[in-house]
Chain A
């Protein structure tokens, strides 16, 4: 039952993407797209994720997107300022941080956010330990690095993904 809901939700999303992309109003066209979307969703039925539509989570998600965008802008200015110096000021290294998130989707979003934020790049993840390449290492210890890199995002993602 749960899987059927996931498959239907996924095919609706796929069809919507197609509709926005082509802006077609031809009914036959949309019906064929819907059938194809259903087929694709059925093939990938074991990997689908259903978002939990709860007002608090949706609100936090929107807030998170805004924060992420601000961080992306900050990281770009940071990289740009480093690149134009005569001698590039870097102090790179790979540090470890721990994450409290359990769900795979939450971890995916967290690692992607880390990669997009100032001076950090996720290199590997083993269980709940993330290996992060940091362009300007400020804290070699795990707890300090966790505080500086992860905790900003984690408090929102914990609410969104539970």
Chain B
């Protein structure tokens, strides 16, 4: 077995483990916001590592892989931010375990922008 196939396989496997843990987090977390946390972080690194593994196995694709990694690093946090913001404005509550919600306090003030 060539070294780059081995290294690429290890990277891809690590990426899939992170993706699996992210999915587990989405299933187990108590409310939308915590689920979003697990979903965003694990998928970002998981996808990056999986793509890097493919890039190491097939070195001729490294340019495309780098572009994909840049796009994922930029768009992933934005989409989860948009979802969390929309959910909070819709009024989806935080879990009862939550200790503080400053944004709700802000919105319940009389002068809301």
Q: Which residues of A contact B (CB under 8 A)?
A: 17, 20-21, 23, 72-73, 75-76, 79-80, 82-84, 88, 90-96, 111-113, 115-116, 118-119, 121-124, 126, 131, 133, 135, 137, 140
8 A-B pairs with C-beta separation under 8 A: A23-B63, A76-B42, A80-B42, A88-B29, A111-B77, A115-B81, A121-B33, A122-B84
Q: Which of B29, B41, B64, B84 contacts A72, CB < 8 Å?
A: B41
Interface residues of B in 70-108 (CB under 8 A from A): 73-74, 76-78, 80-81, 84-85, 88, 94-95, 97-104, 106
Min C-beta distance of A112 to chain B, whole Å? 4
Min C-beta distance of B81 to chain A, whole Å? 5
Question: What is the predominant secondary structure among interface residues of chain A facing chain B?
Answer: mixed
Contact between chains at B104 and A94 (CB < 8 Å): yes
Interface status of B28 (Cβ within 8 A of chain A): yes
In angstroms, Cα B74 to Cα A88, docked, is 29
Interface status of B40 (Cβ within 8 A of chain A): yes
Question: What is the predominant secondary structure among interface residues of chain B facing chain A?
Answer: helix
Give the size range of B's interface with the partner: 35 or more
Contact between chains at A80 and B18 (CB < 8 Å): yes
Q: A21-B64, A112-B77 are in contact. Are A124 and B103 (CB under 8 A)?
A: yes
Shortest 4 CB-CB contacts between residues of A and residues of B: A115-B77, A93-B100, A20-B63, A83-B25
Q: Which residues of B contact A (CB under 8 A)?
A: 18, 21-22, 24-25, 28-31, 33-34, 36-38, 40-42, 44-46, 48, 63-64, 66-67, 73-74, 76-78, 80-81, 84-85, 88, 94-95, 97-104, 106, 113
Q: Which residues of B contact A123 (CB under 8 A)?
A: 33, 81, 84-85, 88, 103
